[in-house]
Structure 1
């Protein structure tokens, strides 16, 4: 097996590089915020709210779709040079939603007095927490070392596997195919294990009542294929459910359906809704460590693991077939 070209390593390391760049930018912003003056403020609003956020979607013409996520809306007022201002940003870090909603609401209840750090050049820009999480760079350093070790260790291991198989299979020129099938099978099997483990944990999560909610019809165009001026027009709906956990209300999405006509989309939705009717009460399994994460069918999601293991078995069988029969 030839050594991997530098471009392959660059592609594998690109996500890690993006994470490190984002961490550097946030660290620089945090260092700058340390010099910001402070003022006394008061929390005027502290509630959970649902916001529509853009999520990357290559299958759509616009390149994104809208997704409902849970946020802690902590709004506070403060004064700078006699000017009354308000803001609802908590920390320097980006809030992507569905994380620490209850914790932030409990930390900053309505009516509480807080210390506000504001940008002296733009006083309307402020935060309540100007420091990054402790141990951030330590975790990133350990994580980076693990990722690099996995990438280069895997490349070395695959190369050694190829060299060994080249001397033990009927057709040495197919050793690379055997390694490829085996590696794909192993990765998919590990994915199945992770899905099964997560589903097993979800079955032990607390159960609360929830309500199914059906969205209005959404129209959009799929991403166009080469040679097409525009993608196919699609009609779809979202199926979400709302629930409350420890007096905080959340929303989550359980399915999306879409088809080329409103009628076809409605028919697909009717099949899906044979189990979950609009407005129906359902049991929701809630992650106590992050209540914004929940599921309606923990055991059903666990069955996906068997599908992944089946696919892994196919790759393993292909690897064995090529190794013993020589293609």
Structure 2
């Protein structure tokens, strides 16, 4: 069992790295996607109790939930992706409030549309800053696994 842990850490780290890299690349590719004019159809803050044990589970997390519609090549679509990757739930309600304020219901927005798959779209193109943090964390998993495998840890 002790020999399995390093391989699990390396496999999980590399898998997560590839997943996050691909999301970041999708965000980067979106910068070159054609755009359509869309309209925000839903803009609200969702909250939930933080996952985990102890005192942390009593705290709330917040996320801006946005929906929008757009027309591309004569076909109507709906979307909910703001950026790649989605920032998810955060402990700060102010960041969720800022995003909801930026995208009020009824406002017109620029929607970046994937021309190969027009149902895939986003409101903010480019790599979200969380990609870099996620990539660094996944590399720590790989390094820990390699360190255990080589007897350095």
TM-score, with structure 1 as normaliser: 0.34
Q: Distance in 2 between matches of 1:191 and 1:245?
A: 28
Q: Distance in 2 between matches of 1:310 and 1:198?
A: 18
CA deviation vs aligned residue, 1:147-188 (integer Å, no higher than 9, x gap): xxxxxxxxxxxxxxxxxxxxxxxxxx7432222211111111
- Find the partner of 1:213 among 14, 20, 41: 41
- Find the partner of 1:274 among 79, 101, 104: 101
Q: Distance in 1 between matches of 2:36 and 2:73?
A: 10
- Inter-CA distance 211–284: structure 2 relative to 1 (3 Å threshold): same
Q: CA RMSD in A?
A: 3.3
| Larger Rg over CA atoms | 1
Aligned twin of 1:315: 141
- Inter-CA distance 253–268: structure 2 relative to 1 (3 Å threshold): same
- Inter-CA distance 238–307: structure 2 relative to 1 (3 Å threshold): same
Aligned twin of 1:184: 12
- Inter-CA distance 197–270: structure 2 relative to 1 (3 Å threshold): closer
Q: Distance in 1 between matches of 2:23 and 2:42?
A: 27
Structure 1: segments with no counterpart, 5+ residues: 1-172, 223-235, 259-265
Kept after mapping to 2: 8 A contact 1:214/1:240: yes
Within a 5 Å distance, the mapping from 1:57-206 to structure 2 comes to 174-206=2-34
CA deviation vs aligned residue, 1:179-230 (integer Å, no higher than 9, x gap): 2211111111211232233223222110122111226899xxx9xxxxxxxx
- Inter-CA distance 307–237: structure 2 relative to 1 (3 Å threshold): closer
Kept after mapping to 2: 8 A contact 1:286/1:294: yes
Bigger relative contact order, structure 1 or 2 (CA pairs below 8 A, ≥6 apart): 2
- Inter-CA distance 308–286: structure 2 relative to 1 (3 Å threshold): same
Aligned twin of 2:71: 244
Kept after mapping to 2: 8 A contact 1:242/1:250: yes
Q: Distance in 2 between matches of 1:197 and 1:272?
A: 23
Aligned length: 130
- Inter-CA distance 269–322: structure 2 relative to 1 (3 Å threshold): closer
Q: Distance in 1 between matches of 2:6 and 2:45?
A: 47
